[in-house]
Structure formats: structure tokens, C-alpha cells
Copies of this chain bind each other. A is one copy, B any other.
Amino acid sequence: MAGTVEDSGNTAPSSPAGLRGADLALRVLLFAVSLSGLVVLVTAKQTEMVPLVLTPPFRFGPVPAQFKDSPALIYLLVALCMTSLYSLLTAATSVKSMSSSASCAKGIFVLILLDVVYAGIMASATGTAGAVAWVGLKGNSHTRWNKICNIYGKFCRHIGSATCLGLIASIILVLLVVLNAYSLYRRSR
């Protein structure tokens, strides 16, 4: 292991442009993915004629399905909203760091700290929405939770897509942690 770090004056070897470029690209992608997820989730609304009582004589009426009906989907919305804003702010920081010659080790450490917290929030929100989407799709005969996706197909496709986009956002955040940890590792050699 080398006893010196070659970042005094010239930061290129310890934090090359490639790593900083990849960081910026991932943050822009994270913004695109989380914003798309947000739009797909907010537009998840469908009204169908369903029986208003479960016993004969059946009376039918229009019943809307929307993301506000489930706390799990509201949590996904909040997580996607926070991640969109966060990715925008950190992408701006990343651009600023690319334009300046020095990239601070402390800044990278703070980014890892924030990224891992957001990764945790986003992963849990994806799990939460995924669990509700799964019950909606398959139902659960043991608890008598009926499936709803056979009626609200479009609504379920929106929820499923938003959950997938949440999963992609979580993976991007994990990749950002690994990338910045690698950046610190290169500096520490």
C-alpha cells in the first residue's frame, strides 16, 4: 500500500473525471426515474362500476381507486418526491464539483451518508408499495383480502410501474454509495 496520496494539488488520480462523470450521470438518471415514478403514481386513478354490497341483491355504483386510498402508496409518493428533490440538489453539487479542480473527501463522505439513508428510505417504500400491489394482484385467501387488479387493471399497472421505478431508484442509490466509496478507497490507497 502506498504511503502517499497523490491528491495534493492535482486531484485527477484519486478522483478521476470518469468517477465524477458517472456520479453525475447516475444522479441525473435518479432524477428522471424518481420523477417518472412520481408522475405514474399520481396519475394512478380509475373508476369502475362495482357491487356496493357483497350479498344479493347486488347494487352497482361507480367506485374510484386512487393512490390516496393506501398509506403504503402515500409513503411511496413521499419517498419519490424526496428522492427527486435530493437527486436534483446533489446533481447540482456534482456539477459544481466537476467545474472546480478539487473534490473534497469530506464532501464524498457526506454524500455516502445521505445516499445510504435515501437508499434505505427508497427501498422500504418500494417494499411497502410492492406488498400492497402484490395483495391487489393476487389477493390473500387466508386473510380474505380479495384481489382488485382484475377490476382496476389500469390502476394496478400504474402502481406496478411506480413500484418498479422505485426499485430502479433504490438500485441507483446503492450504486451511488458504492461509486463514492470506491472514490474514497482510491484516495486512501
- Show the binding face of A for B, using Cβ within 8 Å: 1-5, 7-8, 14, 54-55, 65, 69-72, 104-106, 108-109, 112-113, 116-117, 119-121, 123-132, 134-136, 140, 142-146, 148, 170-171, 174, 177-178, 180-182, 184-185, 187-189
A92 to chain B, nearest CB (A): 22
A55 to B56, CA, bound (A): 11
CA of A5 to CA of B188, assembled, Å: 7
Number of copies: 2
Contact A181 B178 (CB under 8 A): no
Across the interface, name the chain B residue whose C-beta is closest to A178. Answer: B113
CB of B1 within 8 A of CB of A3, answer: no
| Contacting pair A185 B185 (CB below 8 A) | no
Q: How far is the CB of A163 from chain B (nearest CB, A)?
A: 11
- When A116-B178, A185-B106, A185-B184 are in contact, do A69 and B130 touch as well, CB less than 8 Å? no
For chain A, what secondary structure do more than half of its interface residues adopt (helix, strand, loop), or is it mixed?
helix
CA of A113 to CA of B14, assembled, Å: 19
Cβ-closest 5 pairs across A and B: A127-B127, A124-B127, A187-B188, A3-B8, A131-B131
Q: Are A142 and B185 in contact (CB under 8 A)?
A: no
Chain B residues within 8 Å of A106, by CB: 185
Complex contact B140–A108 (CB within 8 A): no
Given contacts A120-B171, A124-B127, A188-B188, 12 further A-B contacts (CB under 8 A): A65-B142, A106-B185, A113-B181, A116-B181, A119-B119, A123-B123, A128-B128, A129-B131, A130-B131, A135-B145, A181-B181, A184-B188
A184 to B146, CA, bound (A): 50
With a cutoff of 8 Å between Cβ atoms, the chain B residues found around residue A178 in the complex are 112-113, 116
